[in-house]
Amino acid sequence: MNSITRIIVLAAFCQFFSLPALAETDAWHKIALDKTHVVSLVSDPARASTLYAATSLGLLKSLDGGASWDSLGEALPRDIPPSAVAISRYNSKELYVGYDGLGLFKSSDGGQSWQSMNDGLPNTSVRCIAINPLNPNLVYLGILGGVAISTNAGRFWHMSSGFKRTVNVNTIAINPQDPQYLYAGTGGAGVFKSGNSGVSWKDVNEGLSSLSITALHVDPENPDVVLAGAYHPATPTDVYVGEASGGVFRSQDGGQSWQESSLLNIHIFSLAADPSQANLVYAGAWGGIYRSADKGLSWMDVNAGLDNAFPHTIHVLSSNPPVLLAGTTFGLLSYTDVSLDMPEQGRDISPLLIICGIGGVSLAALSVLLWLRLRGRRARDEGRRPVW
């Protein structure tokens, strides 16, 4: 294939494939599940494009990064939607799905069959699920009244100590370097910490101005850095005693004390990090989605194209650049964070993307390139140097 033919083929390829996709990368756009409430998203640890979602339609599975979904709920309860979903990092076929009122169900065959796993639970109000990253048999549930622990992969549960019976545990985060340390976010009692694999807990609330914790994140590089996302009341009449503001709070000493970040006076739904860039964290909040490039110290919004004020869950697919998925009240949205595609940080930029137009080189521009090529060849054939 000569050089002129290569340019023609490249132009056609760009026109039909590259440009439409690039036009949407720097803005949020809906990709699936229209008018569906998405509350939880997780990836298969062996294949990130395989996703599981807890939604108002039940438990769903995607094999193509969220573009299309199939139901896994034929053998699951249909009375109420699931509240949480988790997957074992050691066995992709081992799934857990929780319900706020119906307890926990487990599949050991990738969702083909399910078994109720409520033995020992004092109630069936499951808010969140966490699995020990080094021991898949050690599973935690956030429920009404505290944290339930299973040491045999869900077959039996017992309650930990340190919580009041009326406290809801909304979220659990585990120190990935030393899983004996865990954090639990509660609705009204603040953050609790355990240093003995969840057996007992103690509140660690110094510096928090909101005690309704909705999301937690532990820095994988420096686990002393912990982020807590908090509830912010919608109106002054909703302000609880001792709660002045919501937003993201940051601890640099493993939860012993907390400081305000730049993202305050806003209700936080979720926190998520890029698995390949520990300094990069995203927050889903009432009214938008925010990004921090300094481990939660400062934040800026990434709301271009966002038409939904309720991003209940954020999931980051590690890629170059990172791809964000947002589960909202009205469907699943996607955003490619092209502003972080920086070659000076060791990222690779495809020559095809350069030619096809980051920013939008069209077929007409490539036609000019072809014309210049032909013009230069004609000049050389005539024994003259080309002007261009």
For residue 78, what pLDDT is reported? 87
Please give the Cα distance from 261 to 246 (Å, whole number).
11
For residue 322, what pLDDT is reported? 86
Beta-strand ranges (E) seen in 14-73 are: 29-32, 38-44, 47-55, 58-62, 70-71
Please give the Cα distance from 241 to 344 (Å, whole number).
49
Q: What digits encode the pLDDT tens for the residues 40-60? A: 999 999 899 999 999 999 999
Please give the Cα distance from 139 to 106 (Å, whole number).
12
For residue 263, what pLDDT is reported? 95
For residue 312, what pLDDT is reported? 93
What would the two tokens of residue 205 be? 């609330």
For residue 337, what pLDDT is reported? 87
Positions in the chain short of pLDDT 50: 1, 3-24, 235-243, 342-388
Of 330, 280, 326, the C-alpha closest to 300 is 280
For residue 313, what pLDDT is reported? 96
Tell me phi and psi for residue 316, to 5 degrees.
-105, 125
For residue 276, what pLDDT is reported? 84
Q: Which amino acid is at 84?
A: A
In this structure, are residues 136 and 178 in contact, taking their beta carbons and an 8 Å threshold? no
Please give the Cα distance from 85 to 334 (Å, whole number).
20
Q: Which amino acid is at 338?
A: V
H or E, element range at 323: strand 323-328
Please give the Cα distance from 261 to 174 (Å, whole number).
21
What would the two tokens of residue 94 be? 């081992």
For residue 339, what pLDDT is reported? 75
Q: What digits encode the pLDDT tens for the residues 336-353? A: 988 765 443 333 333 322
For residue 40, what pLDDT is reported? 96
